[in-house]
Chains A and B, each alone.
Chain A
Amino acid sequence: MDSESYDFIFKIVLLGDSGVGKSNLVFRFTKNEFNKDSKSTIGVEFATKTVQIEDDKLVKAQIWDTAGQERYRSIASSYYRGAVGALLVYDVTDRNSFNHVPMWLKEVEENAEKDCLIMLVGNKMDLHEQRTVFVRDGRSFARKNGLAFIETSALDATGVDTAFQRILQEIYKTQTRKQLKSQAGGAGGGGGGKDGAPGGPARGQTISLTQNETIENPQKKQGCCGGQ
């Protein structure tokens, strides 16, 4: 299972207040299970899953699930380094966790890669009755800050695969574009840079996550499900 082949490996971090369901999002995505007896995350937890995108590309997601409590913030932020994707999670039944989103956003912008794609995730959407943060709240914050947005339920699996698939796809696009640009002064055929594009990353090649090639205007995509 661990020796599988893949075309790319992308580091994704999860962050957000304690108890919003970060670990269960990872659990749902990587194992398709929900653990109602999960313990609080101390430090960081790590998981991987390889998925297929763009018909034939295998992408390995290296997921770093960080602790949410305030006291751990400085250690947690050290895990953002090298991340090209971040899921910033809040709980739709907990207004406080949504109010803290700007603080988390700042943390990730300061510590992750410059072109790190950020997706705002409103979790626990199955708890209709207790909802205090509405879709429009999340969507409008995401739009204002150039983030992708989605609501999920780790419990009933709604939106979870979509969230990870979408962010991996966007990372793939951003990173291949970046790679093409950095290679041989733009030989590649037509902007898409899809299959077989000359100069595209070869199979098995890992996109280095620490390279500092700059790409002007790293595109932050507008919403997934919420972005219309």
Chain B
Amino acid sequence: MNVAATLMQLRAVAFPPLPGGETDDGAAAVADPVVFPRSATATAAVDVVDDDVAVAVAPRTYRERRFDAILSSPVASLRELRKLAWNGVPQHMRPTTWKILLGYLPANASRREGAMRRRREEYRDAVRRHYDVPDDSRTYAEQETLRQVLVDVPRTAPDVPLFRDPRVRRCLGRLLYVWATRHPASGYVQGINDLATPLLAVFVGECLGDVVDGDGMADVLDGSRMVDVTDRMMEDVEADAYWCLTSLLSGIQDHYTSDQPGMQRMVMRLEELVNRIDAELASHLRDTGIEFMQFAFKWMNCLLLREFRLPCVMRLWDAYFSEGDGGFEDFHVYVCASFLVHFSPTLRQMGFDELFQFMQNMPTDDWGDREVEILLSSAFVLSTLFGGSEAHLNVVRH
């Protein structure tokens, strides 16, 4: 079967203008029958609901109302939430949705308030015990960690004004240090700082309430709304980001332990996958002498945060969190493969030097949700064609 051609085709046909002003359900129904069995995926990725037409009375889209219904029901259906979130979470619902999908907030609505209060208090306590201590009481390893964290905080998303805000930087440094001291098998590894940024940005946005809609995230990222965020709010943002980061990392812990076996495994899987779906590209890469490790290591280590602008990463993560535990491990490999294959025609024209430099700075500056959604759709197709996750890859691994 020619997967590359299938993907190309998908790219061409995935998002035709859908007839009528249909809902998500309608969109799901027109999904390409060959490729979208799981949940309401791919085509539904483009939210076709038109505010003005479809909802004249309520100021919310159909999609938002569905989110509302799930989030405000006594016990949120995780299955439903995942299905819905895979296709993108509206900005102002993202904080709660992510927290529930990551297991930080319970599905049971009546328990959320209390659970959150306890976890926030627990985090504050951890800060007191690990961070707010005299330097001479830190072990050598802890001092090294602190040094490294402090070197990296100013280098984290330095192009995003929000992360130049002194309070945000303090939060980031503290939560990274506390995470590292509480997870000594891995400790702080560069790249984990990048992973905290979408969480911090989304939770800062949460403090600003419903205002953060549409272009609202732009206001959050440019730091201009930080005057409206109190110190007390920042404490909660920090605690929430800490627990969500902890949850995210718990699924991919061996990516950051000694010798990073998880990372090696992911890169190897990516190579195997590309061999199968785009043999021409794979053989071109081999001919030039470039190794997957040389360009894809960063894709795995920073989960594409270095490749995309933050809003694109948030959209990507909506799907990853919906995938559950496998999102950052299995599904991510499919996304990386789709990403690479997307540039296949260009890459196949390049020699070693050009390839290397192109791939460390992929041209995604003008990418938005739409491009990410096409990527997600392709990745979804791949994951379906190749039997979900492990199974097919084991066939080719010896």
Do these two chains really belong together in a complex? yes
Residues of A within 8 A of B (CB): 2, 18-19, 37-40, 42-48, 62, 67, 69-72, 74-75, 78-79, 96
Q: Which of B18-26, B290-298, B322-330, B367-375 contacts A (4 or more CB under 8 A)?
A: B290-298
A37 touches B158 (CB 8 A): yes
B354 touches A43 (CB 8 A): no
Interface 1/0s, chain B 356-386, versus A by CB < 8 A? 1100100000000000000000000000000
Using a CB-CB cutoff of 8 Å, which residues 264-318 of chain B contact chain A?
293-294, 297-298, 301-302, 306
Number of B residues with CB within 8 Å of any CB on chain A: 33
B148 at the A interface (CB under 8 A): yes
What are the residues of chain A within 8 A of B298 when measuring CB–CB?
A: 42-43
B103 at the A interface (CB under 8 A): no
Give the distance in Å from the alpha carbon of A47 to the alpha carbon of B60 in the complex.
Answer: 49
Q: What would be 23 A-B contacts, judged by CB atoms less than 8 Å apart?
A: A18-B148, A18-B190, A19-B151, A19-B155, A37-B158, A37-B159, A40-B190, A40-B193, A42-B191, A42-B298, A42-B302, A43-B298, A43-B301, A44-B297, A46-B353, A46-B360, A48-B353, A67-B190, A69-B189, A70-B144, A72-B190, A75-B297, A78-B293
B353 touches A75 (CB 8 A): no
B169–chain A nearest beta-carbon distance, Å: 14
Give the distance in Å from the alpha carbon of A48 to the alpha carbon of B351 in the complex.
Answer: 13
- For residue B152, which residue of chain A has the nearest CB? A40
- For residue A69, which residue of chain B has the nearest CB? B190
What are the residues of chain B within 8 A of A74 when measuring CB–CB?
A: 259
B258 at the A interface (CB under 8 A): yes
Give the distance in Å from the alpha carbon of A49 to the alpha carbon of B168 in the complex.
Answer: 38
- For residue A36, which residue of chain B has the nearest CB? B158
B357 touches A47 (CB 8 A): yes
- For residue A60, which residue of chain B has the nearest CB? B353
A75 touches B189 (CB 8 A): no
B246 at the A interface (CB under 8 A): no
Q: Contacts A18-B148, A62-B353, A71-B258 given; indicate if A39 touches B293 (C-beta within 8 A).
A: no
B156 touches A39 (CB 8 A): yes
Give the distance in Å from the alpha carbon of A48 to the alpha carbon of B148 in the complex.
Answer: 29
What are the residues of chain B within 8 A of A47 when measuring CB–CB?
A: 357
B260 at the A interface (CB under 8 A): yes
B190 touches A44 (CB 8 A): no
B365–chain A nearest beta-carbon distance, Å: 15
What are the residues of chain A within 8 A of B293 when measuring CB–CB?
A: 43, 75, 78
What are the residues of chain B within 8 A of A62 when measuring CB–CB?
A: 353
A46 touches B357 (CB 8 A): yes
B260 touches A71 (CB 8 A): yes
A40 touches B155 (CB 8 A): yes
- For residue B154, which residue of chain A has the nearest CB? A37
B297–chain A nearest beta-carbon distance, Å: 4
Give the distance in Å from the alpha carbon of A155 to the alpha carbon of B294 in the complex.
Answer: 28
Using a CB-CB cutoff of 8 Å, which residues 147-172 of chain B contact chain A?
147-148, 151-152, 155-159
Q: Contacts A40-B155, A42-B298, A46-B360 given; indicate if A71 touches B353 (C-beta within 8 A).
A: no
- For residue A71, which residue of chain B has the nearest CB? B189
A75 touches B260 (CB 8 A): yes
B123 at the A interface (CB under 8 A): no
B98 at the A interface (CB under 8 A): no
Give the distance in Å from the alpha carbon of A19 to the alpha carbon of B149 in the complex.
Answer: 11
Q: List 7 tightest A-B contacts by C-beta distance, closest first.
A: A37-B158, A43-B297, A19-B151, A46-B356, A42-B298, A40-B190, A71-B189
A184–chain B nearest beta-carbon distance, Å: 30
Give the distance in Å from the alpha carbon of A71 to the alpha carbon of B256 in the complex.
Answer: 8
Give the distance in Å from the alpha carbon of A210 to the alpha carbon of B106 in the complex.
Answer: 58
Give the distance in Å from the alpha carbon of A70 to the alpha carbon of B297 in the complex.
Answer: 16
What are the residues of chain B within 8 A of A79 when measuring CB–CB?
A: 294
Q: Contacts A42-B190, A71-B258 given; indicate if A2 touches B351 (C-beta within 8 A).
A: yes
A33–chain B nearest beta-carbon distance, Å: 14
B354 touches A42 (CB 8 A): no
What are the residues of chain B within 8 A of A39 when measuring CB–CB?
A: 155-158, 194, 306
What are the residues of chain A within 8 A of B159 when measuring CB–CB?
A: 37
Interface 1/0s, chain B 241-259, versus A by CB < 8 A? 0000000000000001011
Give the distance in Å from the alpha carbon of A72 to the alpha carbon of B301 in the complex.
Answer: 11
What are the residues of chain A within 8 A of B152 when measuring CB–CB?
A: 18-19, 40
Give the distance in Å from the alpha carbon of A179 to the alpha carbon of B298 in the complex.
Answer: 37
- For residue A96, which residue of chain B has the nearest CB? B147
B268–chain A nearest beta-carbon distance, Å: 14
B297 touches A42 (CB 8 A): yes
- For residue A37, which residue of chain B has the nearest CB? B158
Give the distance in Å from the alpha carbon of A40 to the alpha carbon of B147 in the complex.
Answer: 14
Q: Contacts A42-B297, A42-B302, A74-B259 given; indicate if A69 touches B353 (C-beta within 8 A).
A: no
What are the residues of chain B within 8 A of A48 when measuring CB–CB?
A: 353, 357
- For residue A43, which residue of chain B has the nearest CB? B297
Give the distance in Å from the alpha carbon of A48 to the alpha carbon of B356 in the complex.
Answer: 10
What are the residues of chain B within 8 A of A78 when measuring CB–CB?
A: 293
Give the distance in Å from the alpha carbon of A96 to the alpha carbon of B5 in the complex.
Answer: 54
Q: Which of A43, A48, A62 has the most CB of B within 10 A?
A: A43
Q: Which of B148, B189, B194 has the most CB of A within 10 A?
A: B148
Give the distance in Å from the alpha carbon of A40 to the alpha carbon of B155 in the complex.
Answer: 6
Give the distance in Å from the alpha carbon of A67 to the alpha carbon of B152 in the complex.
Answer: 12
B360 touches A18 (CB 8 A): no
B266–chain A nearest beta-carbon distance, Å: 13
Q: Which one, A38, A45, A69, contacts B360 given CB within 8 A?
A: A45
Give the distance in Å from the alpha carbon of A40 to the alpha carbon of B190 in the complex.
Answer: 7
